[in-house]
Amino acid sequence: MARDAKYDILFEPIRIGPKTLRNRFYQVPHCSGFGSGKPWSQAGHRGMKAEGGWGAVCTEFAPVSPETDENPYPSARMWDDGDVRALGLMASAAHAHGALAGIELHHGGIHCSNESRQPVLTVSPVAGDGLPIVGQTMQAGDIRRVQEDWVAAARRAQAAEYDIVYVYGGHTYLPMQFLSPFYNKRTDEYGGSLENRARFWLETLELVRGAVGDTCAIAVRISVDEVTPATVPVEEALEFVRMADHLVDLWDVNVSSIVEWGKDAGGSRFYPEGYQLQWTGRVREATAKPIVGVSRMTSPDLMVEIVSSGKWDIIGAARPSIADPFLPRKIEEGRLDDIRECIGGNQCIAAVSRSHHLSCSQNATAGEEYRRGWHPEEVPPAENKDRDVLVVGAGPAGMECAIVLGRRGLRRVHLVDAEAELGGNLRWLTRLPGLGQWARVVNYRRIQLDKLANVEFVPGTRLDAAAVRDYGAAVVVVATGARWAADGLNGVTRGPIPGADAGLAHVLTPEQVVLEGKRPPGKRVVVYDGEGYVTGVGVAELLRGEGYDVEIVSPLVSIAQQSDLNLEGVLIREHLRNLGVQQRTLTTITEIRSGGALAEGFDGPLELEADGVVLVTQRLANEQLFVELDSDRGALEAAGIQGAYRIGDCTAPRTLADAVFDGHRLARELESDDPSRPRPVLREWAMHRAEDVVGAAVG
Ligand code: SF4
């Protein structure tokens, strides 16, 4: 199928300095967890996007010197020839598929800790990121040294055949710290007036352009917004763009500081696609050079609208390119219904925040391109296709497994569920306020299932072990999901909690509230949240919206503590406060009674008055069916069943990304000797000595 002509504008080439971008799709710098330390994985991940049609792919932050390292957060680096070799793999992978390669050369200034044992550098003695450190205020010599490091790193990037070199200031990294009056309290020629505050950035740009500007495009990322006091007023940002325009080939525009990163990498709970345009769309007033902007965009119509308006020339993406590395190709081929749209839940960021490599709720292959050899759009044909597979449970893991099995050509795949609809726990979770876009996980898979003639969804059919054995399938996959504990069970909450019984009128589970419409017998509700993720706050907001007096109580240090990793914690707490939801932390409920609950708070015992308590303490695997099947292997064999496996939350309740991954992996590895265990993955070994790479011994 050819692309719709209305999208032609997205595929026009565009000149950026000495380079030509083949189309308007640009993967902006984003963390991956691979850095320089896992160069093959880095190349595999970015190269896949190049294959999927992105005009350019960029690294994550690449410190220009060890004094701005952020270990243990994995980063790219450009410190020596070893990094040239390592990151050169990524540039080659991009070029092999016709894309440009960009590198986010970076100095974090006060926003870093480092293991070089050197003091963190700061523009002024303003502490950063809540670390117990105050940086060393940069003197003239420090400024020169950092600029020389930037030039040296740019030359290395040039040697590694990068096409686009950043002098990166977004997220209030060092150049932006000089520009921002929030950080810059200097009284010398680098502080005070805008001209003075802009001096460091302008000088660095001039030096980098002088070093590599005829061979590499020079890009600047700058925050342009009114969402945080840490950046600069929009008018000043625009004035800086005018001052620096002759030195810049590409303006990469975003919002906010790294301290409030959740306002930049905004989740779908609070931020619609295109939300940054209200600020960054103004940059056109200051430049005729190409502008790339971001806002979690997956809609080609919105992309066309923006490019046609002239506000941005290029559509930037981080998360949409993770969820679907082939997004541009699918638009080009007129396959819009095959786009795996980002749901904006930020699991990718949560993974990297834990120093893992990224994972994705939509794309099970994200991060697995090299080490598992997975391709997001291709699966190998099954070795023994002549088999029927029964998948019990049509939640995220079951749907993903059935799709991959179908694509691999299994003769027949039956996806059976007790409910009438696809989706498993997402049938009700997506009804919670703020989680509507998570339904994209189901919608994408519904469309894909419909396209597979060998896969059939069988709704409204509850199978017990005997019915599974009698079904006639050669392989059985159990994907029966999880449920919330109805008795307050949770190690953190010391449950089960006396009096916690969801069979009573005043004790409720999230499923009862959302699916069954059960409500407490009075207006006062305590939502007891031992998980600290999306369900507790979602139920609290739902009930508050219906007029209940809601208090969310947690034994954790903060409400929505897990969501801090997704960059949403602070925003959620503010949101609940604005809605009038009371928040109580460090409080453990010890008994639930009619009329309230007894608890241990930070200041001692207390009594919570409530007409009902919603238990959001922990989930339990729905493993009964699998355990029963597995406990009688003889009966399985007698029924002609060659293998019975379980996937997703019925194995262990985990994140959505892990559940989808689990279903995908089993389907890919069905021919393994033991499909229940993952095949070994390729590891990347740091086997070289520094002196072999850079030619100098480390003394
Ligand atoms: S994990 Fe979620 S937010 Fe991140 S790319 Fe995937 S779908 Fe988007």
Task: Tell me the CA–centroid distance for residue 267 and ligand 1, in Å.
Answer: 9
Task: Tell me the CA–centroid distance for residue 378 and ligand 1, in Å.
Answer: 20
The chain-wide mean pLDDT, for the chain, equals: 95
Distance CA 193, CA 242 (A): 15
> Which residues make beta-bridge pairs with 549?
524
85 Cα distance to chain centroid: 28
How much is the average pLDDT of 196-203?
A: 98
Distance CA 74, CA 581 (A): 38
Confidence tier at 228 by pLDDT (50, 70, 90): confident
pLDDT of the residue at 693: 65
Task: Tell me the CA–centroid distance for residue 131 and ligand 1, in Å.
Answer: 29
The string of pLDDT tens digits covering residues 512-540 is 999 999 999 999 999 999 999 999 999 99
Ligand 1 atom having least distance to the Cα of 318: 5
pLDDT of the residue at 119: 85
Task: Tell me the CA–centroid distance for residue 350 and ligand 1, in Å.
Answer: 10
pLDDT of the residue at 165: 98
| CA-closest residue to ligand 1 atom 1 | 360
How much is the average pLDDT of 397-418?
A: 98
| CA-closest residue to ligand 1 atom 8 | 342
317 close to 302: Cβ distance less than 8 angstroms? no
Q: Which long-range contacts (CB under 8 A, 24 or more apart) does 440-447 make?
A: 440/340, 440/341, 440/342, 440/343, 440/362, 441/343, 441/361, 441/362, 441/396, 441/656, 441/660, 442/396, 442/399, 444/339, 444/340, 444/341, 444/362, 445/396, 445/399, 445/400, 445/403, 446/422, 447/337, 447/338
Ligand 1 atom having least distance to the Cα of 343: 7
Ligand 1 atom having least distance to the Cα of 359: 1
> Which residues make beta-bridge pairs with 166?
219
Please choose from 45, 327, 347 the residue to mutate so as to test ligand 1's pocket, defined by most ligand atoms within 8 A of CB: 347
In this predicted structure, the answer to whether residue 698 has a pLDDT above a threshold of 50 is no
pTM for the model stands at 0.96
Ligand 1 atom having least distance to the Cα of 319: 5
Confidence tier at 260 by pLDDT (50, 70, 90): confident
Query: Angle between the 656-668 and 396-407 helix axes, to the nearest 10 degrees?
Result: 30
Task: Tell me the CA–centroid distance for residue 355 and ligand 1, in Å.
Answer: 16
Ligand 1 atom having least distance to the Cα of 320: 5
Please choose from 319, 534, 563 the residue to mutate so as to test ligand 1's pocket, defined by most ligand atoms within 8 A of CB: 319
Please choose from 28, 48, 361 the residue to mutate so as to test ligand 1's pocket, defined by most ligand atoms within 8 A of CB: 361
Neighbouring CB atoms inside 10 A of 570's CB total 16
In this predicted structure, the answer to whether residue 697 has a pLDDT above a threshold of 50 is no
The string of pLDDT tens digits covering residues 420-451 is 999 999 999 999 999 999 999 999 999 999 99
Q: Residues with catalytic annotation?
A: 173
Task: Tell me the CA–centroid distance for residue 296 and ligand 1, in Å.
Answer: 10
| CA-closest residue to ligand 1 atom 6 | 360
pLDDT of the residue at 354: 83
Task: Tell me the CA–centroid distance for residue 335 and ligand 1, in Å.
Answer: 20
421 close to 459: Cβ distance less than 8 angstroms? yes
Percent of the chain with pLDDT over 70: 97
| CA-closest residue to ligand 1 atom 7 | 342
234 Cα distance to chain centroid: 28
Helix (H, G, I), strand (E, B) or coil at 585: coil
The string of pLDDT tens digits covering residues 550-578 is 999 999 999 999 999 999 999 999 999 99
How much is the average pLDDT of 593-606?
A: 95
Confidence tier at 130 by pLDDT (50, 70, 90): low
Ligand 1 cavity residues, CB under 6 Å: 319, 322-323, 342-348, 360-362, 657
How much is the average pLDDT of 589-615?
A: 96
The enclosing H or E element of 620 equals strand 619-621
Please choose from 322, 324, 353, 656 the residue to mutate so as to test ligand 1's pocket, defined by most ligand atoms within 8 A of CB: 322
